[in-house]
């Protein structure tokens, strides 16, 4: 199983989602995380957590030798892939999760991604949008619900599970841990958000 994390924008939760989906996949079989972002955020997170995380992160050049030793591969990418890189990744993945924050720029970016795929003759069946950093609705406006509706209108599958906004993710990153293993009590709930999202992926 190859699960890729992609988004046009940076800072929407690709690396955080890669780490948590890799941990969830690791309970099913040997899992490697491939860090395709030159910033090496995922590699550094995994290196800090080498003693406790149930998977390791590798650079792309390790795929050739390591892929056969693993049942599952999670690919973390940098924001704003070139069209051809996006197509290659899409063709070589079983599922592509797009983490998104509910705001208008997200939608514009998703339209671009969807158009690129369609222009190159791909359907959008492998895409799954996951809303991250979700805040409780303020008053009558529920931005996540609006975002989900807008994404569905584009013909892209949206996960009904969303990942809540919490500082626990920053603590987890700093400590090289999973969010459930931080001292922040919200961390357990945030982990359950990823569990729900993972279940919905139906892997």
Ligand X SMILES: Nc1ncnc2c1ncn2[C@@H]1O[C@H](COP(=O)(O)OP(=O)(O)O)[C@@H](O)[C@H]1O
Binding site for ligand X (CB under 6 A): 7, 10-16, 41, 132-133, 163, 165-166, 169-170, 173
The residue (of 37 and 116) whose beta carbon lies closer to ligand X is 37
Instruction: Choose the contact partner of 166 out of ligand X, Mg ion, none; CB within 5 to 8 A by kind.
Output: ligand X
Answer for which of 9, 12, 14, 116 binds Mg ion (CB under 5 A) is 14
The residue (of 7 and 113) whose beta carbon lies closer to ligand X is 7
Residues 6+ apart with CB under 8 A from 160: 148, 200
| Cβ-contact 30, 72 below 8 angstroms | yes
Residue 143 has what DSSP assignment?
H
CA–CA gap between residue 127 and residue 139 (Å, rounded): 31
Q: Is 116 in the site for Mg ion (CB under 5 A)?
A: no
Residue 31, binding choice from Mg ion, ligand X, none, Cβ under 5 to 8 Å by partner class: none
Which part of the chain contacts Mg ion (CB under 5 A), choosing from 14-22, 106-114, 120-128, 179-187? 14-22
- Classify strands 31-35 and 56-58 as parallel, antiparallel or unpaired: parallel
Map residue 157 onto helix, strand or coil.
Answer: strand
Confirm or reject binding of residue 77 to Mg ion (CB under 5 A): no
* Closer residue to ligand X, CB minimum distance, 32 or 99: 99
CA 173/CA 181 separation, integer angstroms = 11
Beta sheet of 56-58, edge-to-edge order: 56-58, 31-35, 72-76, 2-5, 95-100, 127-131, 157-158
41 binding Mg ion? (CB under 5 A)? yes
Task: Tell me which residues in 125-184 interact with Mg ion (CB under 5 A).
Answer: none
Residues lying near Mg ion in the complex (CB under 5 A) are found at 14-15, 41
């Amino acid at each position: 199983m190859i699960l890729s994390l992609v988004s046009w924008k940076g800072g929407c939760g690709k690396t955080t989602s890669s780490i948590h989906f890799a941990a969830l996949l690791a309970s099913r079989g040997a899992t490697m995380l491939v860090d395709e972002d030159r910033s090496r955020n995922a590699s550094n997170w995994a290196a800090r957590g080498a003693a406790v995380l149930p998977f390791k992160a590798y650079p792309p050049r390790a795929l050739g030798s390591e892929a056969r030793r693993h049942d599952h591969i999670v690919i973390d990418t940098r924001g704003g892939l070139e069209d051809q890189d996006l197509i290659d990744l899409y063709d070589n993945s079983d599922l592509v999760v797009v983490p998104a924050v509910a705001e208008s720029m997200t939608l514009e970016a998703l339209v671009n991604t969807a158009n690129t795929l369609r222009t190159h003759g791909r359907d959008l069946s492998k895409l799954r949008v996951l809303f991250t950093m979700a805040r409780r609705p303020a008053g009558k406006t529920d931005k996540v619900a609006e975002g989900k509706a807008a994404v569905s209108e584009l013909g892209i599958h949206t996960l009904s599970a969303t990942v809540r906004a919490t500082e626990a993710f920053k603590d987890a990153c700093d400590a090289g841990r999973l969010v459930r293993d931080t001292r922040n009590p919200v961390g357990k709930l945030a982990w359950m958000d990823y569990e729900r999202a993972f279940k919905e992926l139906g892997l």
